[in-house]
Amino acid sequence: MMDGSERIAAAEAALGRPAVRLPGQVGIVIAVSGFKLSCLLFGGADARDIGYAGVQIGALVKVPTGNSAAYGFVASLSFADPTQPAPTAIAEVDLLGESLGGARGGFARGISVYPVLGSPLVTATSEDIALIYAKPNTWTLAIGSLHQDETRPAYLLSQEFLSKHSAIVGTTGSGKSCALTLILRTLLSAHPNGHVVLLDPHGEYAAAFPDLAERVTPDKLQLPYWLFSFEEACEVFCSSDPIARSREIPILKDAILLAKQDYLCDDAAKLAQLTVDTPVPYRINRLEKRIAEAMGKLDRPDSSMPYVRLLATIEALRKDRRYAFMLEGLALRDGMSEILSRILRIPVEGKPITIIDISAVPSEIVNAVVSVLCRIIFDFALHSEREEAIPVLMVCDEAHRYIPRDERAGFEPTIRSISRIAKEGRKYGVSLCLVTQRPAELSETILSQCSTIFALRMNNEKDRSYVRAMLPDDAAGLMAALPTLRQREAIAVGEGVAHPMRIRFADLPPEHRPRGEAANFPKAWEDDRRGRDFVNEIVERWRQK
């Protein structure tokens, strides 16, 4: 019975290859299929061999091919027959690209000269890593270091990252919030007059950008009801019961249109172009009056229930302090320009990020609020002159809440607003960055539009399979390491990086970290100094909010 080294020697002899080992050689190629290689690995019994113990998942390897060299990542390792005393080890390698000799030197994605059977498999050296991950001749920003060589920076291509959509995915606790913070702080340190809008569902990012962000909380947010489209207004004012809602919708539609006509009564030109979705102010008391007038014209009093429900809902919302950000008082003014200027940071004035804290927005309308924000940002870009347009990066944390894979589980206008940015935003200077811990629950259509993906540790096989299906084939070898990534480590692939790579993000100072860390139970349970006054303070704060 032959052991692994003897099988390799026999294979080399059959191929007419000399049994001469190259420095760093760990095996030979035994199968070539598209972008994949199968390789026999040395067993380490021969003093000339490094042995398969030195080959790991995700390792960068090289195969010389005449006047070039092909590079790839180890995707899997296995024994051909583990029951044998000295089993043969097999490595599957996903090809990444090649370096060409002569005037065409340097590294390039893709393969023009394929390895032949019997070619040596060699571990990549620091010179190989330097060749592949050399600093590109374009706008770049260092965001961490390479896994293969921690002394070598990992670069983000800022133009490619910003001009196209991106995603940061990973399980809870893997470091997504810190990764997002690091990327944004690095980008805005280099481009201090940028424009970023960050939807913060947990109120954790204000602490990470104390010097760069305008924090907008519900008690400081101005998002008047008249900015809502008709569908968004229905989400706020109409009943959740489908039958009741179907009766209220036509009533609300007529009343909103009449209330807008009341506001524009002296402007014939605007009246001629008016629709129920035109972002024109109207008074909430005029809306109530129009609903009451329509109810008064009914022939059958028993059909007045939809009108009564609408009026009761509007009155209840006006009295609820949580809705103060959208339901202004009787005074009305057209502050659309002011609202857009604040959200989009025009002018920047030293704070290029708008953090919209929606953690305190009532849960029943949070989707409508996100829909309004995404829609007005896109529409502002759509109606800007191309030469004067201001590019905006829209960041959606917990994106699976707003754009679920099952569209029946989400609010259709929100899905449509974000989907519109994903499909058309690049043309108008609006790019999207999605952050989620459950990529398998995210809309496949929208995630597929993301050209750059940072994948942090993911333990769930469903999530890993979902993300793997969205990635180019040459990154599959790296993705095999997803379950074992350490905190702050990620697989970066796509157009925002020169080549797929495993990186470790740079350290964030404590003062720039989001407030997303888990509670320190042992420390908090060390003493029992808190008493009833502590509870009373929380109750009072709770009631005030």
- Residue found under tokens 């400081």: 220
Both tokens assigned to 491: 């697989």
Helices (H) and strands (E) in the chain, counts: 17, 18
Integer Cα distance of 338 and 199 in angstroms: 19
Asked if 3 and 45 count as a contact pair (C-beta separation under 8 A), the reply is yes
Paired tokens of 153:
């920076």
Mean pLDDT of the 500-511 span: 91
The residues near 125 (Cβ < 8 Å, ≥ 6 apart) are 24
Looking at residue 479, its pLDDT comes to: 79
Report the alpha-carbon distance of residue 201 to residue 189 in Å, rounded. Answer: 25
Within 91-157, residue ranges assigned H as helices are 126-132
| Rounded mean pLDDT, 514-527 | 73
Task: Write the CA distances from 476 to 64, 224, 265, integer angstroms.
Answer: 21, 47, 62
Q: Which of 374, 306, 386 is nearest to 343 (CA)?
A: 374
Residue 516's pLDDT is: 66
Give the integer Cα–Cα distance in Å for 450 and 165: 4
The two three-digit tokens of residue 325, written as one number: 């950000």
Lowest mean pLDDT among 47-56, 288-297, 456-465: 47-56
Contact partners, residue 327, CB within 8 Å, separation at least 6: 224, 225, 284, 317, 318
Mean pLDDT rounded to a whole number for the chain? 86
Of all residues in the chain, the percent with pLDDT exceeding 90 is 42
The answer to whether the CB of 168 falls within 8 A of the CB of 450 is no
Residue 62 backbone phi and psi in degrees, to 5: -135, 145
SS (H, E, C) 316-336: HHHHCHHHCCCCCCCCCCCCH
* Amino acid (one-letter) located at 491: I
Q: What are phi and psi of 501, to 5 degrees?
A: -155, 155
| Residue with more model confidence, 2 or 305 | 305
* 23-42: average pLDDT: 89
Q: Per-residue pLDDT for 195 more than 80?
A: yes
Predicted pLDDT of residue 100? 77
User: 52-66, 143-157, 251-265, 300-314: which range is least confident on average?
Assistant: 52-66
**351-386 tens-digit pLDDT:** 999 999 998 888 888 888 999 999 999 999 998 888
**pLDDT tens digit string along 162-178?**
999 999 999 988 889 99
pLDDT at 387 over 50: yes
